Amino acid sequence: MFWADRKPGFSLAQRLRNWSVRRFPRNRTVKLTQKRIYILPTGAGLGFCVLLLLLLLLAINYENNLAYALTFLLAGIFVVSIIHTFGNLAGLQVSAQAGRPCFRGDKAGFSLQLTAAPKRDHEQLSLCWEGGVAQTLDLTEERMLQVELACDAAERGWLDPGPLLVETRFPLGLFRAWTWIDTGLKALVYPRPVSCAAPPAGGGEGGAEVTGIKSRGPEDFQGLARFEKGGSLNQVAWKVYARGQGLHLKQYAGTVSEEIWLDWESWHNGTVEEKLSGICFWALEFHQREQPYGLRLPGLILAPASGEAQRQRVLKALALYGREQQE
């Protein structure tokens, strides 16, 4: 995990965070208890302590009972604030659910579920991944809340956002209570699709061009064929099915090649990432056209197919090309 593989010399705060994460095993569901919650005064809290000290010196110097009363009243508020800040996190349950895939350069989403402790409200909770933008929320009327936190996806492959930071400064901002949770969530980052010229498809002896695929229209209709598993529902002849004649697919003329391959060897120029971005673009293009296509990468071949399952297989293969050790 990137947050643990740091060189010596990083900050004390990072060392304390890593130590905190190592104390507890990785878990998708965590209930915050006394062992997990840390609490320290904030800058405002330290300033408040200085104010209390000055008031106490003033009361002693002038032997003023009103100054004594004010000092002890504020000191009592300071102590009670510790209990309320700690209690704002205590009993909260955090459940990590899933990571949402994205393309390189976008933001990957991670789904979390927060459950409030019985008969307790949780206000001004702040959640974020390391280096991410914090999201602030309340658990008052709603006892359970679904949250999605975003994390920048700078590289393709498996994205580990690192430990989750949950903190609060409620109610007065004098103390900060926080915890780190190792959720184990990961999201798959696909190559960023970049439009490029279409190389030969590599399937069949004719070497059909990707750009040679013709559009389908009503004038291209050729006939009907029996429905087979994996066929597009958009081509089903529903009127024929309604007459009780079974499922059939409409056939159209116009395709140049029955098999289209996205072949790594066909992309001769560019870096590895540029080639993957080009292949990714055409995979999405063929998926949009509902055109069956296959994928050839060094050490991997995916047979031609269409549909969402094929799209997911191809994008995952592109995302993990050369990075399988991250799984």
- Per-residue pLDDT tens for 97-143? 999 999 999 999 999 999 999 989 999 999 999 877 889 999 988 88
Q: Could you identify the residue written with the tokens 């700690």?
A: 86
Cα(161)–Cα(69) distance, integer angstroms: 50
Question: Can you give the pLDDT at residue 199?
Answer: 63
Mean pLDDT, residues 217-222: 50
* Cβ pair 180, 21 in contact under 8 A: yes
- Rounded Cα gap, residues 172 and 302, in angstroms: 59
Percentage, residues of the chain above pLDDT 70: 79
Give the SS3 label for residue 103: strand
Mean pLDDT of the chain: 82
Q: Which amino acid is at 269?
A: N
Closest to 128 measured CA to CA, from 88, 173, 179? 179
- In tens, the pLDDT along 23-65 reads 888 888 999 999 999 999 999 999 999 999 999 999 999 888 9
Q: How confident is the model at residue 22 (pLDDT cuts 50, 70, 90)?
A: confident
User: For 164, how many CA atoms within 13 A lie in the half-sphere containing its CB?
Assistant: 30
Domains and CATH numbers, the chain: 12-42+88-189 (2.60.40), 191-213+258-327 (no CATH), 219-254 (no CATH)
Which residues contact residue 296 at a Cβ distance below 8 angstroms, ignoring those fewer than 6 apart? Answer: 202, 261, 262, 263, 264, 265, 302
* Secondary structure (DSSP) of 179-230: EEE-----EEEEPPP---PPPB---TTTT-BGGGPPPP-GGGEEEEEE--TT
Please, which pLDDT band fits residue 215 given cuts at 50, 70 and 90?
very low
